[in-house]
Amino acid sequence: MTKWIERHRNILDFTLASLLRRKRKNAALVSVYTLIVFLLASVLLFTYALREEASILLQQAPEMIVQKLVAGRQEPIPVAYIEQIKAVRGVSSVKPRLWGYYYDPIVGANYTLLVAEDPLINPGSIVVGEGVSRLRFVSPSDSLEFRTFQGATIELEIKKVFSSEFGVVSSDLILISADDFRRVFGTSEEYATDLAVNVRNPKELPTIALKVAELLPDTRQILREELLRTYDAIFNWRGGILLAILFGGVLAFIIFAWDKASGLSVEEKKEIGILKAIGWETSDIIRMKFWEGLVVSLSSFLMGLVLAYVHVFFTSFMLFEPVLKGWAVLYPEFKITPFIDGAQVASLFFLTVVPYAVATIIPSWRAAVVDPDSVMR
């Protein structure tokens, strides 16, 4: 066993010395390789972390939302529906929600206005998301102007700016009191935007949703699971677009790496001949080439992964920010919480490291089975 380890150690030692001999060639290879892993890993880490973050956030969302539909469009829902829904067996609470979108002509951005029960939010005061504060250059104790549905202007004082912990969803958010909301949008007291329903047993949710649908045929029921699926689809789709763009780069790299790894130069062939002539077995040479491929691909993989981690979680995905985040003027500025999917990292490993290591072995095997007397001639 010790002999076996020493044999590997000695061969690895020679491999490392060999790699250092062709510094430029190998440095170029490792750089391109690292760049590819970096790009792929950045997209994968980012989309996964974003999805995880959104789904954690949505865990706090109500289990079911009931909206009123008129001609297929959402309309304010009568508050009177609350009692009817409460009467359905299994429903634990029904709360009216008031929210909407407000277009700010000054900066050309859309804000999401949401009525929240918070001691800070009294009539005349609001709490704004970090993106809003950045875009309008406002901070607590400043005021924001809103045009009401009748054309009048009201001023609301900012009490607080959100922390950016969940920036991706809350960046464009403004929390407002119910009174101010109704003043801005003209929603009457008898109506809410939609109803948030919680149930006693989540397993009964589909049944309860059916019952509500039967009871109130002009409403639709949105379950939290459906929201999660929508978020998943959106982030996957965006990640997919970027991956599609990267695909060209990846393809170019595969051709480049295949060429580098599978082609042996005359010098390399001669070296294999020398090693065989002085007593190296074919398996020793394949071992050496395997180590060589592994050192190049594994170090590139690890470097690419670490760089991607820094890029995604420390620099907030600086390079591709506009593609993947937000779809309004308000690009959220935030640091995402690191979430890593082991399976994704493993598949990236198998897609980048393994093919390269194999690509280096095949030609060496072909060269190594040749009679060593070639060096004598």
Residue 1 or 343 with smaller CB distance to other proteins: 1
Q: Check binding of 150 to other proteins (CB under 8 A).
A: no
Residue 111 or 280 with smaller CB distance to other proteins: 280
For 70, list phi and psi in degrees, rounded to 5.
Answer: -130, 120
| Burial environment of residue 244 by CB neighbours within 10 A (0 to 12, 13 to 18, 19 or more) | exposed
In angstroms, give the least distance from the CB of 28 to other proteins.
17
The answer to whether residues 292 and 361 touch, using CB atoms and an 8 Å cutoff, is: no
Residues present in the chain in total: 377
Q: Check binding of 14 to other proteins (CB under 8 A).
A: yes
Q: Check binding of 200 to other proteins (CB under 8 A).
A: no
In angstroms, give the least distance from the CB of 17 to other proteins.
5
Compose the 265-304 pattern: x for residues touching other proteins by CB under 8 A, - for all others.
Answer: --x--xx--xxxxxxxxx-x--------------------
Q: Check binding of 2 to other proteins (CB under 8 A).
A: yes
Structure tokens at 337: 């919480």
For 109, list phi and psi in degrees, rounded to 5.
Answer: -115, 155
Residue 53 or 271 with smaller CB distance to other proteins: 271
- The stretch near other proteins (CB under 8 A) out of 8-16, 32-40, 58-66, 291-299 is 8-16
- The stretch near other proteins (CB under 8 A) out of 19-27, 163-171, 230-238, 337-345 is 19-27
- The stretch near other proteins (CB under 8 A) out of 5-13, 33-41, 118-126, 169-177 is 5-13
Q: Check binding of 17 to other proteins (CB under 8 A).
A: yes
Q: Check binding of 169 to other proteins (CB under 8 A).
A: no
Q: Please enumerate, as own/partner, the contacts of 150-158 that have beta carbons within 8 Å and a separation of 24 or more.
A: 150/186, 154/180, 154/183, 154/184, 156/124, 156/125, 156/126, 156/180, 157/124, 157/125, 157/126, 158/125, 158/126, 158/127, 158/128, 158/133
Q: Give the CA angle between residues 81, 229, 192 to the nearest 5°.
A: 20
Rg (CA), the chain: 30
**How many chain residues touch other proteins (CB under 8 A)?**
35
In single-letter form, the type of residue at position 335 comes to K
- The stretch near other proteins (CB under 8 A) out of 10-18, 70-78, 325-333, 345-353 is 10-18
Q: Give the CA angle between residues 12, 15, 18 to the nearest 5°.
A: 155
| Burial environment of residue 201 by CB neighbours within 10 A (0 to 12, 13 to 18, 19 or more) | exposed
Residue 21 or 89 with smaller CB distance to other proteins: 21
Binding residues for other proteins, rule: CB under 8 A, are: 2-7, 9-11, 13-14, 17-18, 20-22, 267, 270-271, 274-282, 284, 371-373, 375-377
